[in-house]
């Protein structure tokens, strides 16, 4: 355990919230980006895509390379990059330069998240680490739930430049909090870099990575097209869709609280119950999602299980290799981003072939595959 204080976890949560708001907040202002920089909306989408692509590529590599450095200094460096790049973006008039200013912090994103997960886990006894990590996931959910509408509100009521200044200020605030409340963490006890990379030879690592890709693909693939599903199949208004998206996100937060307890007290049961529950809820949406009240109730419950599922995915990768926390968290971040791309593509294909209703069946296919690999993972652990 590292030396800690009551404000360590809230400070890490603030940093993750600031980062996720900066990364995902741009989703809500793509039409404004297109207008300001005189590009198509499809081209404007690169301000989001380039970020996710870089994160997926570098997440397994960069975090373990920095384990020999003081974790506090690593976090401060990341936050400085996030803040400065956002402030510079506020004064950027060239779209290519804007993409560069989005690409640079993307390299530091998995470093910050991996170290935040590791520091949270190290701040409590080992058997309590899922509870601490669940709090970091609350910040992830908050960044996803509030970051997009908050950025959209700021940009639409003021300007795109002000939204960038907001990102910069939020990360600067997190930097000051980190400076004040995060203790320095010497790295002598961390596994050497070569030792961390040795775990890549273990089959359990790659099976676990595939589980995360499939599970995240299902949850975020459906989430990406939830508005499409509600608009064209449930046939509700945009105002109700916005409300349901917010409620779904808040349900995610509840799921994070539940996951912190369930992964400590009954991890194996959680790994069995969550995927089966997701399948049941997606099937329920397929048959009952045409009714607004029915869809609303199902989405609230689905949001809770998806929140647990997010935590479960991180647990699946990190729990078999506690000796390589930073590498494990990097693999999780990478697999999660690849899974989002996979899930979005498959769900989009199902919609184009069959219509909006069938997006949930694409999610079901991915969860079924994740169960198969979870069973394989369990067998590998038994044979150890």
Domain containing residue 54: CATH number: 1.20.1250.20
202 assigned to some structural domain: yes
Please identify, among 127, 153, 188, the residue that sits at the C-terminal boundary of a domain: 188
1 assigned to some structural domain: no
Say whether both 209 and 225 belong to one domain: yes
Say whether both 291 and 366 belong to one domain: yes
Please identify, among 188, 222, 243, the residue that sits at the C-terminal boundary of a domain: 188
Please identify, among 188, 208, 223, the residue that sits at the C-terminal boundary of a domain: 188
Q: In whole angstroms, how far apart are CA 362 and each of 231, 251, 342, 353, 370?
A: 18, 22, 11, 11, 13
pLDDT score of 11:
95
pLDDT score of 28:
67
Q: In whole angstroms, how far apart are CA 118 and each of 1, 11, 110, 200, 267?
A: 11, 14, 12, 18, 19
pLDDT score of 341:
79
39 assigned to some structural domain: yes
Cα distance between residue 223 and residue 248, in whole Å: 9
146 assigned to some structural domain: yes
Say whether both 261 and 136 belong to one domain: no
Domain coverage including residue 359: 195-383
Beta strands (DSSP E) in 234-350 are none
pLDDT score of 126:
76
Say whether both 230 and 175 belong to one domain: no
Say whether both 57 and 85 belong to one domain: yes
Say whether both 33 and 151 belong to one domain: yes
* Angle of the 238-265 helix axis to the 129-157 helix axis, nearest 10: 160
Say whether both 219 and 350 belong to one domain: yes
96 assigned to some structural domain: yes
Note down pLDDT in tens along the chain; length 384 residues. 555 578 899 999 999 999 999 988 887 687 788 889 998 877 887 888 788 889 888 988 898 888 888 999 999 999 999 999 999 999 999 999 999 999 999 999 999 998 998 898 888 887 788 888 888 888 887 887 777 778 878 888 889 999 999 999 999 999 999 999 998 876 544 555 666 778 888 899 999 999 999 999 899 888 878 878 888 899 988 778 878 878 888 898 899 889 988 998 999 999 999 999 999 999 999 999 999 999 999 999 999 999 999 899 989 998 898 878 778 888 888 898 888 878 888 888 898 888 889 989 999 999 999 999 999 999 998 876
Say whether both 17 and 122 belong to one domain: yes
Say whether both 177 and 133 belong to one domain: yes
Q: How many domains does the chain have?
A: 2
Nearest to residue 328, comparing CAs of 13, 63, 51, 57? 63
Residues 6+ apart with CB under 8 A from 2: 119, 122, 123, 183, 185
Longest dimension (CA), the chain: 59
Cα distance between residue 80 and residue 116, in whole Å: 15
pLDDT score of 225:
81
Phi and psi at residue 145, to the nearest 5°: -75, -45
Say whether both 294 and 347 belong to one domain: yes
Say whether both 178 and 282 belong to one domain: no
Say whether both 129 and 247 belong to one domain: no
Nearest to residue 183, comparing CAs of 65, 67, 329, 75? 75
2 assigned to some structural domain: no
């Amino acid at each position: 355990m590292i030396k800690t204080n009551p404000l360590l976890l809230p400070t890490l949560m603030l940093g993750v919230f600031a980062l996720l708001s900066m990364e995902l907040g741009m989703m809500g202002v793509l039409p404004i980006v297109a207008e300001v920089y005189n590009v198509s909306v499809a081209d404007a989408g690169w301000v989001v895509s380039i970020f996710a692509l870089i994160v997926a590529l570098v997440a397994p590599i960069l975090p373990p390379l920095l384990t020999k450095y003081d974790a506090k200094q690593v976090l401060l460096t990341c936050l400085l990059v996030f803040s400065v790049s956002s402030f510079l973006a506020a004064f950027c008039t060239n779209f290519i330069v804007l993409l560069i200013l989005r690409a640079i912090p993307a390299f530091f994103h998995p470093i910050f998240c991996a170290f935040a997960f590791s520091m949270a886990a190290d701040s409590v006894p080992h058997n309590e680490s899922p509870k601490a990590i669940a709090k970091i996931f609350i910040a992830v959910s908050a960044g996803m739930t509030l970051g997009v509408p908050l950025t959209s509100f700021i940009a639409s009521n003021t300007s795109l430049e002000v939204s960038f200044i907001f990102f910069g200020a939020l990360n600067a605030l997190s930097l000051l909090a980190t400076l004040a409340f995060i203790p320095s963490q010497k790295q002598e006890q961390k596994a050497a870099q070569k030792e961390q990379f040795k775990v890549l030879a273990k089959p359990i690592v790659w099976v676990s990575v595939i589980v995360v890709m499939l599970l995240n693909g299902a949850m975020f693939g459906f989430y990406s097209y939830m508005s499409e599903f509600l608009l064209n199949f449930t046939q509700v208004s945009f105002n109700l869709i916005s409300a349901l998206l917010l409620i779904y996100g808040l349900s995610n937060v509840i799921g994070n609280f539940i996951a912190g307890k369930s992964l400590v007290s009954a991890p194996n049961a959680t790994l069995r119950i969550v995927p089966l529950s997701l399948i049941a809820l997606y099937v329920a949406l397929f048959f009952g999602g045409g009714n607004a009240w029915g869809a609303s109730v199902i989405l609230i419950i689905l949001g809770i299980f998806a929140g647990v599922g997010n935590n479960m995915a991180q647990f699946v990768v990190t729990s078999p290799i506690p000796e390589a926390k930073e590498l494990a968290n990097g693999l999780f971040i990478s697999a999660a981003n690849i899974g989002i791309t996979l899930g979005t593509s498959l769900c989009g294909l199902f919609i184009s072939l069959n219509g909006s209703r069938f997006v949930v069946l694409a999610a079901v296919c991915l969860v079924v595959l994740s169960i198969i690999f979870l069973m394989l993972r369990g067998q590998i652990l038994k044979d150890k």
